[in-house]
Amino acid sequence: MALVPKNPEYERLLSDIGQTLNRGRSQAASAVNHTIVETYWNIGKYIVKYEQGGNASAEYGAETLKQLSRDLTVRYGNGFGLSNVTKMRKLYIEFPILQTLSAKLSWSHYVELLKIEDPLERNFYLKECEQENWGVRELRRQMKSMLFQRLALSKDKEGVLQLAEQGQIIESPEDILKDPYVFEFVGLPELPLYKEGDLEDALITNLSQFLLELGKGFAFVGRQQIVNIGGRKFKIDLVFYHRILKCFVLIDLKRGEVQHEDIGQMNMYLNYFREEMNTEGDTEPVGIVLGAYEDKLMVKYATQNISNQLFVSRYQLYLPDRKQFESEINRILEQQGRSDSEANADRKKKTE
- What is the rounded CA–CA span in Å between residue 82 and residue 47? 13
- Other Cβ atoms less than 10 A from the Cβ of 319: the count is 11
Higher model confidence: residue 24 or residue 47?
47
Q: Angle formed by the axes of helices 8-52 and 82-94, to 10°?
A: 90
DSSP 256: S
Cα radius of gyration rounded to whole Å, the chain: 26
User: Over the stretch 275-319, which tens digit does the pLDDT of each residue have?
Assistant: 999 999 999 999 999 998 888 888 888 888 888 999 999 998 888
Q: In Å, how far are 117, 196, 267, 269 from 224, measured between CA atoms?
A: 43, 12, 17, 13
User: Over the stretch 50-108, which tens digit does the pLDDT of each residue have?
Assistant: 888 755 555 667 888 899 999 999 998 888 999 999 999 999 999 999 999 998 999 99
User: Over the stretch 157-212, which tens digit does the pLDDT of each residue have?
Assistant: 888 899 999 999 999 999 999 989 999 998 887 655 577 788 899 999 999 999 99
Q: How confident is the model at residue 342, as a pLDDT?
A: 46
